[in-house]
Amino acid sequence: MKKNPLTDQQQSEIDDIRSTSFQTLRPTVPKLEEILYIPLPVLDHGFIRVVDYMGDDAAIVQAARVSYGKGTKRTRDDSGLINYLMRNWHTSPFEMCEIKLHIKLPIFIARQWIRHRTANVNEYSARYSVLDNEFYIPDAQQLRAQSSNNRQGRGDLLESDEANKVLSILQEDALNSYSHYEEMLNENFSGETIDENKTGLARELARMNLSLSFYTQWYWKIDLHNLMHFLRLRADAHAQWEIREYADVIIEQILKPWLPITYDAFLNYRLGGMQLSEQQLLIVKRLVTGEEIKHNPEEISATEWRELMHKLEIKE
């Protein structure tokens, strides 16, 4: 049975909140209410849980119609309007919805995540508290060599012996660094003193010995427009696998029940669609007419040509 990713205190707080119901006049989403506060597992020790949210599909439509006027209601239903907004990159109506998530993730993924500077973030502080002895160990299927043509990506799967050696190093180094962390602190993970005769190093200094594989936590509040921008980038096949796992959970287990119409439009126009340059579009138009084309460096760069062929699934 998988260990509860929450601390006993966090679980107790959730149980208390979920045992109490609140009356409200604002719109709520029953399917999202069902998973409110419940941790959705990601990776080996991580999770995402919805702490609070504002708005639904109707809120997006309502905001758009304030801008477009009452006549819009007669010409488009809610689904059609949301699809129109998504298709034409009208972003402000989507900003009317917000969500607050509690996320537990490895530090090296957190440093990628925080690059998106469009959210409000409050992170667990290792200056004030002792970090848990939890670190990310990837599955052997995720241990791959450096890609030969992509400096940011992974290549071929490591052989079994080499993969086992890597896993052993990761496990051993993490355990050793945490043991030294506790020794320097003179505290264990629960904050209890280990040796009464020792003072212990300040927490803000002792933490520097821990690796990026250790888990951190934060509260992350963001509006829907910026959330979808984050998801479009981090659910992409070129993103790192670990952060894609978090993006996929948000898309399928949070965005879908929260905003089902917007979810469908997002899949259609953002994740499932493609953006073309002017040169790429001209080539597509020529292809549609039946013209046989070959790469011409004077018309389009080799990189853009390869990207277009990949998008169109055309083998050269």
Non-local (6+) Cβ contacts of 78 within 8 A are 57, 58, 61, 261
Name the token pair of 26. Answer: 């604002």
Q: How many CB atoms lie within 10 A of CB 164?
A: 13
Residue 289 DSSP one-character state: T
Q: Choose the catalytic residue: 65, 115, 234, 306.
A: 234
Classify 106 as helix, strand or coil: strand
Specify whether the CB–CB gap between 107 and 213 falls below 8 A.
yes
Q: What share of the chain is helix, strand, coil (3-state, %, to 5)?
A: 50, 15, 35
Specify whether the CB–CB gap between 216 and 109 falls below 8 A.
no
270 catalytic residue (yes or no): no
Name the CA dihedral angle for 29, 31, 34, 38, rounded to a multiple of 10 degrees.
-100
The strand ranges marked E within 10-110 are 40-42, 46-54, 98-106
Distance CA 123, CA 29 (A): 27
Non-local (6+) Cβ contacts of 29 within 8 A are 53, 56, 257, 258, 259
Name the token pair of 280. Answer: 């790429």
Name the token pair of 153. Answer: 């990506």
Active site residues per annotation:
234
